[in-house]
Amino acid sequence: MVEEVDWSVGEVLKTLRDEKLAENTFVFFTSDNGPWLIRGLAGGSAGLLKEGKGSTWEGGMREPGVAFWPGKIKAGIVTHELACAMDLFNTCLSLAGVPIPKDRVIDGVDMSPILFSSGPSQRVTMIYYRGDELFAVRKGQFKAHLQTAPGYAAAGAEVLFEKQDPPLLFNLDQDPGEKINVAKDHPEALAEIQSEVKRHRDGLVPGKPQY
């Protein structure tokens, strides 16, 4: 799979250069989930991050992204600003000069400030779902888990969702591996996240299931 992706992305970039389109094309490369742990070594590794594909722990959700746009995005810049794949929608509309739709809730934000090194990320909060269950919320450096569960299990194995009351709280700047629960030390951060949860739920209109 790695060899296939490496080759195919190379073909796309080569074509952009051959057709003289590279300087007028925004390319973004990322993944949709962390390692598939039930595949063992063949499934990859999340390093110090906890868990993998299917979970809402950082090992299942946190992914690197690579942005490419010669002459527009500076090479060799690394940022740890918060962003999400949902932000690509807003970003691409903004880059194309197309207004963001006003007739519905849009979950993304424009990533242009971090792409062009002009400012911090416009994303402060991240909501983590597993299926249609709200599992965790991050705001700034703090992430609270309302429910927890491991990643995908072997076929036929049951995965148990465990409610966390009070929620677990982790400082991702200091503890990206989510090992030390700091809820007792930061009640103000937990209260702020719980306010975000209420605001999210109050404004949520469930759509028709797409499964």
User: Do 172 and 182 meet the contact criterion of CB atoms below 8 Å apart?
Assistant: no
Structure tokens at 173: 């700047």
Phi and psi at 26, nearest 5°, equal: -90, 120
Which of the given ranges, 1-5, 140-144, 205-209, has the highest pLDDT on average? Answer: 140-144
What is the Cα 18 distance to its own chain's centre? 33
pLDDT for res 2: 85
User: Do 48 and 177 meet the contact criterion of CB atoms below 8 Å apart?
Assistant: yes
Q: Using one digit for the tens of pLDDT, what is the confidence trace for 19-64?
A: 999 999 999 999 999 999 999 888 999 999 999 999 999 999 999 9
Q: Using one digit for the tens of pLDDT, what is the confidence trace for 152-188?
A: 887 778 889 999 999 999 999 999 999 999 999 999 9
Pairing of strands 125-130, 27-30: unpaired
Split at pLDDT 50, 70, 90, the class of 192 is very high
pTM attached to this predicted model: 0.91
pLDDT for res 153: 82
H helix runs in the chain, sequence order:
2-18, 58-61, 87-95, 112-115, 187-202
State which amino acid sits at residue 132: D
Burial-class residue 201 by CB neighbours within 10 Å (0-12, 13-18, 19+).
exposed
Query: What is residue 200's three-state secondary structure?
Result: helix
pLDDT for res 206: 83
Q: Using one digit for the tens of pLDDT, what is the confidence trace for 93-120?
A: 999 999 999 998 899 999 999 999 999 9
Residue 179 sits at the vertex; the CA angle it makes with 176 and 185, to the nearest 5 degrees, is 95
What is the Cα 54 distance to its own chain's centre? 13
Q: Using one digit for the tens of pLDDT, what is the confidence trace for 63-93?
A: 999 999 999 999 999 999 999 999 999 999 9
pLDDT for res 180: 98
| Residue for token pair 């759509």 | 207
